[in-house]
Every structure is written in structure tokens, then in C-alpha cells.
Amino acid sequence: MCKPLKIIKRKNQKRIVCRVQEAKVIVSAPTMVSNQQIQDFLLIHKDWILQQLQKQPMIHHGDYFELFDISYQFDTNSLIPSGIYDHRVVAHTSLELKQILYDHFQKICQSRFNCIAHSLGFDDCDLKIKEYKSRWGSCKPKDKLITININLIFSNILCLDAVLYHEFAHLVVSDHSKKFYQILLTWCPDYRQIHAQLKNIVIPQFQF
């Protein structure tokens, strides 16, 4: 359950803190805390840790994962150049995979962005893609710039569209007021149901 496990002890740490990052359990604890106390802490929080690990599955060579609801096999051993081949993603390093996912997402996201922007009359807006830790998108109305989280690649097109509509609505209303949601729900009537799916998105980690 707690493997891989990393324990960090600090003099100025006041209590035991646990987090799950990149499919790894990381524990920070005061210097005087024993390993047995840490193990007891992990057992108490076992269910939470397992829940977090399930949200960050580790994908190995030969495993399958999904991009926009389409299944792909992860291939790290092929001698062919990195890229997406039919339903196979070939990558030999994490940097190659990062670029593959970025290019794939950028192509699909830009297409949906252009389509929605044109339908709403926002043809002069720009799109930026980056990885966020705690949000799916952002909007800078003054710059007419919408930024979308690349991790939406692990969702579906409906979720992507919902996030895009949300950010486009911020070009009209900057806050999350009643007026904002009136506009958003006019453009995307099923927004709340679709947005609820974002809580269940699983973002995998890849092992090389």
C-alpha cells in the first residue's frame, strides 16, 4: 500500500504530514518521530492513501490508458520513432511522452477552441496550453487569452468543451456571479452535469 514510500524528517516539522505525488507516498515528519509512529500514521490514513493512489495509477510498458475516451497502449520498447501510431503511444523518455501528449492535445483543443470561439463571436481570442495543479482553465479578458489545462486530455470532448465555454463566459463576466452562470448555461445547458465528471478524472503517471 505504501510503496513506493519516501520519508522526509525535518527539525522544524511540527506534525506528520502525508501526500501522494506521482504515484508515490511522501511523508514529512518531525525528526524525533519514530518509523513505527509513521507506520501507525499511515495505517490510520490507509483508506485515504489508497484513494489518492487510485487517482494516480502508474502506467507501465504494455499497459493501456485513455486519451479523450480512446484507448492506447503504452510502448517504451519499440525501435520506431516516438509518436502515436493507431492505438499505440510510443515514447522512450518522459520528455518525448510530454511532447507527444502536448501535440495531441493542442491539435484537438485548438480545433474545439476555434469552433466554439467562432460560434460565440470571439474569433480574436488566443489559446494557451499548460499544466495546472488545481484548475482546469483560466481567462485573461484584457488580453483575450484563454489557458487550458493539458490534463483534460485524460477526460473527454464534452468536458473539454464545458471548460472552454466556462472560460469564454469569463470574457463577458469576470466573476462567478448569477449573471455569469446565466450566460454559461445558455451556451452549455448541461454544464453542471458535465463539469461534475471532472472530479472523477484519473491522471496517470508513466513509468519508463
Burial 53-71 (b: 16+ CB within 10 A, else e): beeeeebeeeeebebbeee
Give the per-residue pLDDT at 198: 93
Task: Name 71's bridge partners.
Answer: 66
Q: What is the pLDDT of residues 81-117, one digit of tens each?
A: 999 999 999 999 999 999 999 999 999 999 999 999 9
pLDDT of res. 21: 77
Query: Which three three-digit cell numbers place residue 56?
Result: 494516480
Q: What is the pLDDT of residue 105?
A: 98
pLDDT digits (tens, 9 = 90+) for 130-172: 999 889 999 999 999 999 999 999 999 999 999 999 999 999 9
Which pTM value belongs to this model? Answer: 0.79
**CB-side neighbour CA atoms (13 Å) of 48:** 10
Contact between residue 150 and residue 101 where contact means Cβ atoms under 8 Å apart: yes
Q: Please tell me the least confidently modeled range out of 13-22, 27-36, 164-173.
A: 13-22
Higher per-residue confidence, 50 vs 124: 124
Q: What is the pLDDT of residue 63?
A: 96
Show the domains of the chain with their CATH numbers. Answer: 5-56 (no CATH), 102-206 (3.30.2010.10)
One-letter amino acid for residue 109 of the chain: C
